[in-house]
Amino acid sequence: MRLLHNRCRSTPSLRDLPNHVAAIRDAQSAIQRSDRETLRAHTLQLREFVQRGAEVASPKVLALGGALVCEAVAQVLGKSLYDVQLTAGIILAHGAVAEMQTGEGKTLSGLMPAVLHALSGRGVHVATPNTYLATRDFETLRPVIEHLGLTAGCLSDDADHGQRAAAYECDITYAPGYAFGFDYLRDQMALRSTAGGRLGDQLRQRLRGAASETQLLQRGRHCAILDEIDHVLVDDATSPLILSAAGDREAPDAAIHQAAKQIAATLSAEEHFQIAPDGSGLELLPAGIEAIYDDSAPTGDPQLRRAWHEYVHLALRATHQFHRDVHYIVTADKVRIIDASTGRVFDDRTWNDGQHQAIEAKEGLRITTEQTALARITRQRFYRMYDVLCGMTGTAAGCAAELNEFYHLSVVEVPLRVPSRRRTLASVRCTDIQEKRNRIVDEARNCQRRGQPVLIGTHSIAESQQLAERFETEGLRFELLNGKQDADEAEIIAAAGRCGAITIATNLAGRGTDIHLDADAAAAGGLHVIITQHHAIDRVDRQLIGRSARQGDPGSVRFYYALDDPLIRQAPWIARWLERQIANPSDHSDRDSQRLANMIAKLQVQHQRRQASLRRDLLQKDLATQNLIVKPRTRSAQGIEK
Ligand SMILES: Nc1ncnc2c1ncn2[C@@H]1O[C@H](COP(=O)(O)OP(=O)(O)OP(=O)(O)O)[C@@H](O)[C@H]1O
């Protein structure tokens, strides 16, 4: 067991962790095979004890609470919690983060701290990266929670006000991380519309006991348990949460977006604008501004919401930085955003500050009115408001310092339950994407012949579709999981570990996806993961790798590289090295694979630093203003609106 950085207030004592586990085991033997009513009576007693002031992380509460959860899991799910799961649960009960490798059983580990923190009667919010995982965890764990006499609710995306409020009344509420933030903003808007005044004042009044007629959704922010905490607090935290008034009418400035699109098509890179080498930014050059402000510039138009050159800038970004089937899809004449690290498609989100409209113009769709931002908050500021914040992930290494700096969280590494049997195979280096596809097809075919299931992780819907076309031409049996497929996601995942299965997927098959092997698949070597190219965030790669060799199963992983990979093109020194390697194929050794992996890791670290610095700026600005309300016509940071 290891602490990944400086100790802070809520760090558990590493030396005491095994003693707590032993105490839970002892306490469980005393209540083993008790009937449901007895377990509920014990829970009630413990609840009273906590509500009289006992600490959740005190030895007595941990021992009895842990024992009750273990016994309920055994009776309802027929499973016995592993020591590593109890250890992780104890770390969370202290208000810290447990790094537990992928597949080690985090879903069940999070149950004990959820129950313990719920004993206060003030509600626990369990946040997951997406609705699919929130629903799955809720459905699995609700019977256990109810067995102990507690209640559980889940926020579905389409739940109305009443259903949401009912879910929040429960002891434990499951939802995707962003849903808690948006509901907080909704409550703040409701308070403001009934009474006026500064956002937050009314809530403070209500917490002090003053009467309020407003029907709020949330009971407050006592405890948040974040599954995949690095996704919720780091990856997702690059954009703020912005609550907006729906705007589905034709935009008054639609003609201006169209004109901007036409002008943008006449401008050229390097002469009029410049794109950052990593593709992250696009800057207009003086010659570009000059070209934009010619005689035809609609500068006096009353419909202009921003300066004319900003419209053209948006149109340029829409063309060069936002790609269909990579950043968004178009269905039913609507632009729908794809989440970069999870591959999920969001139906009800839009990019803000006119970017969405510029993309609609590019795609030849009806240009909708920009949504009016009503309230906004950074996820960093929102989650810092909880009395207790804790969570778990398989990939905290690499962002432990940020969790510590922004959220004052300690990260404790929990060891593997059984040694990993995952084999990392020598990477494959190709001249271009075509060669890469051919070699992936060959490898997948060989695996299928010997019965080994294969998961091929691609970067985008577009890449997954292009690969799928190749597989179709070759007559190979495969499934496609990219959010656009007709078949149910859960069914595809359930079949992905069967003997001879080939699954081509986006990051949808990453975090949280639990692929079960059948006996023949295990005998054939377990799940083989092919990664078609590195992600800029190494944790996304590690999550995909983590679909194989879970809980001591066999499994393997192989990376593919090509000279035209976007990440390699950003790093000429890697491209040169790779070219030399391709020219001397006989020289490939494990050491070379490792060297290449190290070079890519350096790029990923640089990317992560840049992103962390953006998040730091975002939080500092948010903390400096302390505003939740968005003043009309002010520009906000690039975010995603709902
Ligand atoms: N105590 C247990 N006994 C038996 N099976 C278990 C136990 N705990 C977890 N499992 C099984 O192990 C598998 C992995 O669990 P889970 O999906 O919770 O892992 P995870 O750590 O969340 O993985 P990921 O990091 O990929 O999200 C599941 O099939 C689960 O049912």
Ligand 1 atom at shortest distance from the alpha carbon of 82: 1
- Count of residues in the chain: 642
**125 CB burial (10 A radius; 0-12, 13-18, 19+):** buried
Which of 414, 547, 550, 553 has most ligand 1 atoms within 8 Å of CB, for mutation?
550
Å from CA of 117 to ligand 1 middle = 22
User: Phi first, then psi: what are they for 242, rounded to 5°?
Assistant: -125, 120
Would you say 103 is a known binding-site residue?
Answer: yes
Ligand 1, atom 1, lies closest to the CA of: 81
Query: 556 forms bridges with which residues in the sheet?
Result: 423, 528
Prediction pTM value: 0.86
What's the rounded Cα separation, in Å, for the pair 37 and 25?
A: 21
pLDDT for the residue 303 = 79
Is residue 86 within 6 Å of ligand 1 at its C-beta?
Answer: no
List the one residue out of 624, 618, 623, 620 whose CA is nearest residue 636. Answer: 618
Would you say 274 is a known binding-site residue?
Answer: no
What is the DSSP-derived secondary structure letter of residue 515?
A: P
Would you say 105 is a known binding-site residue?
Answer: yes
pLDDT for the residue 393 = 94
What does CATH list as the number for 253-375? Answer: 3.90.1440.10
What's the rounded Cα separation, in Å, for the pair 384 and 217?
A: 19
Is residue 140 within 6 Å of ligand 1 at its C-beta?
Answer: no
What's the rounded Cα separation, in Å, for the pair 181 and 161?
A: 15
Would you say 87 is a known binding-site residue?
Answer: no
User: Phi first, then psi: what are they for 11, rounded to 5°?
Assistant: -70, 125
List the one residue out of 234, 230, 357 whose CA is nearest residue 305. Answer: 357
List the one residue out of 57, 170, 34, 37 whose CA is nearest residue 116. Answer: 57
Ligand 1 atom at shortest distance from the alpha carbon of 73: 1
Query: 128 forms bridges with which residues in the sheet?
Result: 176
pLDDT for the residue 626 = 66
Is residue 417 within 6 Å of ligand 1 at its C-beta?
Answer: no
pLDDT for the residue 367 = 94
* Neighbouring residues of 393: CB distance < 8 A, sequence distance ≥ 6: 97, 99, 100, 106, 227, 228, 229, 230, 231
Is residue 103 within 6 Å of ligand 1 at its C-beta?
Answer: yes
The parts of the chain modelled with pLDDT lower than 70 are 1, 3-10, 195-214, 246-248, 295-296, 299-300, 486, 586-589, 626-642
| Parallel, antiparallel or unpaired: strands 554-562 and 421-424 | parallel
Ligand 1, atom 22, lies closest to the CA of: 106
pLDDT for the residue 7 = 54
The CATH 3.90.1440.10 domain(s) of the chain lie at 253-375
Å from CA of 532 to ligand 1 middle = 26
What's the rounded Cα separation, in Å, for the pair 26 and 244?
A: 53
List the one residue out of 248, 245, 260 whose CA is nearest residue 367. Answer: 248
Using the structure block, give the residue that is written with the tokens 């930014």: 281
The CATH 3.40.50.300 domain(s) of the chain lie at 2-241+383-413, 421-588
What's the rounded Cα separation, in Å, for the pair 10 and 388?
A: 9
Å from CA of 434 to ligand 1 middle = 37
What's the rounded Cα separation, in Å, for the pair 409 and 391?
A: 9
Ligand 1 atom at shortest distance from the alpha carbon of 102: 25
Helix (H, G, I), strand (E, B) or coil at 439: helix
Tokens of 311: 């419209």
Tokens of 336: 């729908």
What's the rounded Cα separation, in Å, for the pair 361 and 368?
A: 10
| Parallel, antiparallel or unpaired: strands 273-275 and 282-284 | antiparallel
pLDDT for the residue 638 = 47
Secondary structure (DSSP) of 346-361: ETT-EETTTHHHHHHH
What does CATH list as the number for 2-241+383-413? Answer: 3.40.50.300
Ligand 1 atom at shortest distance from the alpha carbon of 550: 14
Å from CA of 110 to ligand 1 middle = 11
Is residue 83 within 6 Å of ligand 1 at its C-beta?
Answer: no
Superfamily of 421-588 according to CATH: P-loop containing nucleotide triphosphate hydrolases (3.40.50.300)
pLDDT for the residue 350 = 86
Ligand 1, atom 11, lies closest to the CA of: 105
How crowded is the C-beta side of 95, counted as CA atoms within 13 Å? 20
Q: Is the dihedral of CA 232, 233, 238, 243 positive or negative?
A: positive
Helix (H, G, I), strand (E, B) or coil at 174: strand
Å from CA of 143 to ligand 1 middle = 17
Q: Is the dihedral of CA 190, 195, 198, 200 positive or negative?
A: negative
Helix (H, G, I), strand (E, B) or coil at 561: strand
Would you say 106 is a known binding-site residue?
Answer: yes
Helices (H), 388-460: 400-407, 433-450
pLDDT for the residue 345 = 87
